[in-house]
């Protein structure tokens, strides 16, 4: 079952708006990842975070590794229609890369 | 780069039948992961391999599930006998350095057991 709490579960936004989502855990993680999944496809890695407090951007996407190491945030600025999809966070304490995934945030962008 | 290749993309089988899912990781990647995705349980790690050796299979739900990686370019996930509750999308993923830097997922196999 899920051990990460990802919120919100879904978001309906207008094109051009900013989007924020987050993940929290009762466990301390060494690595946070953010993925996006399109219908019928596997998740695609967006951003990887390795240090508490780290802030990393990938185009219009910005993610942060929380100071407590128990949370992470993803922001999407100026959303566009192709941002539609399910966004997953994943956390790991395992040097082998064994990640726990959040339940996902469904993003719907309307024109 | 062809990415992680999974086959088949869709599989429909009757309860009790054996099902074999196949995965070809990205060339040069030494770690391979099998995940299962359902609406109820989300993405669950089933098993992962490093240099063809199973490292952790604690996520394999039952003895009906088995996975092999006979060489660096091929892995299988087998379910025998299959049950309706096994219906899910099964993903294979690979990574060049363990999985700590994230991994590349295949497109998945959608399994339906009727």
Q: Tell me the C-alpha distance between A28 and A7, whole Å.
A: 18
State whether residue B42 sits within 8 Å of chain A by CB: yes
pLDDT, residue B1, reads 64
Phi, psi torsion values for A96, nearest 5 degrees: -85, -10
For residues B53-79, one letter each, b for 16 or more C-beta atoms within 10 angstroms of the residue's C-beta and e for the rest, the string is eebbeebbeeeebebebeebbebebeb
Could you report the per-residue pLDDT of B43-79, keeping only the tens digit for each?
999 999 999 999 999 999 889 999 999 999 999 999 9
Instruction: List the single residue in B with minimal CA-CA distance to A35.
Output: B102
pLDDT in tens, B23-45: 999 999 999 999 999 999 999 99
Tokens of B1: 């780069």
DSSP A10-68: EEEEETT--EEEEEEESS--SEEEEEEE-TTS--EEEEEE-STT-EEEETTEEEEE-TT
The conformation of residue B99, written as its DSSP 8-state character, comes to B
What's the distance, CA B20 to chain centroid? 10
**Residue A59 in tokens:** 């185009």
pLDDT tens digits along A57-108? 999 999 999 999 999 999 999 999 999 999 999 999 877 778 999 999 999 9
Question: Does A12 contact chain B (CB < 8 Å)?
Answer: no
Region A9-16: what's the mean pLDDT? 95
Nearest to B99 among A40, A97, A100 (CB): A97
State whether B98 and A40 contact (CB < 8 Å): no
Confidence of residue B102 (pLDDT cuts 50, 70, 90): confident
Tokens, residue A78: 């100026």
- Tokens for B97? 């350095």
Is the CB of A66 inside 8 Å of chain B's CB atoms?
no
Q: Which of A83, A42, A37, A41 is nearest to A60 (CA)?
A: A83
Flag if B42 and A101 touch (Cβ within 8 Å).
Answer: yes
A97 neighbourhood in chain B, CB within 8 Å: 31, 33, 48, 95, 98-103
- B48 to chain A: which residues are within 8 Å by CB? 96-98
Is some CB atom of chain A closer than 8 A to the CB atom of B100? yes
Confidence of residue B81 (pLDDT cuts 50, 70, 90): very high
pLDDT at B2: 81
């Amino acid at each position: 079952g899920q051990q990460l709490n990802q919120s919100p579960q879904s978001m309906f936004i207008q094109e051009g708006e900013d989007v924020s989502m987050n993940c929290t855990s009762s466990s301390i993680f060494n690595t946070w990842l953010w993925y996006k999944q399109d219908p019928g496809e596997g998740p695609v890695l967006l951003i990887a975070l390795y240090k508490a407090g780290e802030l990393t951007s990938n185009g219009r996407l910005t993610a942060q590794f929380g100071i407590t190491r128990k949370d992470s945030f993803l922001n999407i600025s100026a959303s566009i229609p192709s941002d539609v999809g399910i966004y997953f966070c994943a956390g790991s304490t395992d040097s082998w890369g064994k990640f726990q995934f959040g339940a996902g945030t469904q993003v719907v962008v309307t024109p | 780069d062809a990415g992680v290749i999974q086959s088949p993309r869709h599989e429909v089988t009757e309860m009790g039948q054996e099902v074999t899912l196949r995965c070809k990781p990205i060339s040069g990647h030494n770690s391979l992961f099998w995940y299962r995705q359902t609406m109820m349980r989300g993405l669950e790690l089933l098993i992962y391999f490093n240099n063809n050796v199973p490292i952790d299979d604690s996520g394999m739900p039952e003895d009906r599930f088995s996975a092999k990686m006979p060489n660096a370019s091929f892995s299988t996930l087998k379910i025998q006998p299959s049950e309706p509750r096994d219906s899910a999308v099964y993903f294979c993923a690979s990574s060049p350095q363990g999985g700590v830097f994230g991994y590349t997922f295949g497109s998945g196999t959608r399994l339906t057991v009727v």
